[in-house]
A and B are shown apart, each in its own frame.
Chain A
């Protein structure tokens, strides 16, 4: 099946029904292995055992940003190409992105208290991440506020594209400003500064989180298609009754 054929919602549903159980199984197995490796990882020479919080914090931060980047592509799909699944994907992704960004903020606070002596500081990285979370809430609220689906999709698409400005700010905030948050240590010019004993479980956890996100996104998109079919049938029912 070609990728473009998935633009048809019925074909997408058939593909999703087939893929979701397999992806779910693969996610469980990868999480089990990644958690096993994470628990065996040695303590960091500076952070001690709290480095284990990074195995949750870093993947959830990545996913929060990745999800908004995907929503931005979907927004272009809605506004430019009018792809039938673009706004379905954007709507399904928003609560997932919000949840992972919230997890990033919570685990960051729980790491910050023992390491920095505070749960929160108005540092550029933390503040821009909080703004991302608020943007997610704005998108979710907009979907719920505008009743007409296509109008809501266009409004959300514009907000999403404008909000994408926050992504490079989050990424480069540690370079542009003096922040308490540490600089890039995984993906940086000159290679990672993390020892493989910690880097490998971190990347495994990131892969497991990403697989979980893909599975949940497909399932949430399937739900959204079904929800729109229910709406269509109710409109037909109301019309026939009237």
Chain B
């Protein structure tokens, strides 16, 4: 009796868990695809972190990985 009375709360909790996990996986995967696409586009334009010896820009970008 108790199980049927509270099944809606159990289902809601597992649905919330599913939504959070799927959202996290989707966020990580879509972000990865997006960054890869942008990086490929910039490299297609001839830009490379090592092949463009622009001193000032290198200094400005030094703090980035």
Contact = CB atoms under 8 A, between A and B. Distances in A.
Interface string A210-230: 001000100110110111111
Nearest to B17: A56
Nearest to A240: B54
Contacts of B61: 231-232, 235-236
A49 interface: yes
A52 B58 CA distance: 54
A137 interface: no
B65 A113 contact: no
Interface in B13-65: 13-14, 16-17, 20-21, 23-25, 27-29, 31-32, 35-36, 38-39, 42-43, 45, 47-49, 52, 54, 56-58, 60-61, 63-65
A212 B49 CA distance: 32
Contacts of B35: 223, 226-227, 230
Contacts of A125: none
Nearest to A227: B35
B52 to A, nearest CB: 5
Given A43-B2, A231-B64, A233-B49, A238 B57 contact: yes
Contacts of B39: 226, 229-230, 233
Interface range, B side: 35 or more
A53 B9 contact: yes
A25 interface: no
Query: Mostly helix, strand, loop or mixed at chain B's interface?
Result: helix
B9 A99 contact: no
A179 B23 CA distance: 33
A228 B13 CA distance: 37
22 contacts: A43-B2, A49-B3, A52-B10, A53-B9, A56-B13, A56-B14, A99-B24, A103-B20, A106-B16, A107-B17, A110-B16, A111-B9, A114-B5, A216-B24, A225-B65, A230-B35, A230-B39, A231-B64, A236-B47, A236-B49, A237-B47, A240-B57
Interface of B: 2-3, 5-7, 9-10, 12-14, 16-17, 20-21, 23-25, 27-29, 31-32, 35-36, 38-39, 42-43, 45, 47-49, 52, 54, 56-58, 60-61, 63-65
Given A149-B64, A235-B64, 18 more contacts: A43-B3, A49-B2, A49-B10, A52-B13, A110-B9, A114-B9, A219-B28, A219-B29, A219-B32, A223-B32, A225-B65, A228-B64, A228-B65, A229-B49, A236-B57, A236-B61, A239-B54, A240-B52
Interface of A: 9, 43, 48-50, 52-53, 56-57, 60, 84-85, 88, 95-96, 99-100, 102-103, 106-107, 110-111, 113-114, 148-150, 212, 216, 219-220, 222-223, 225-240
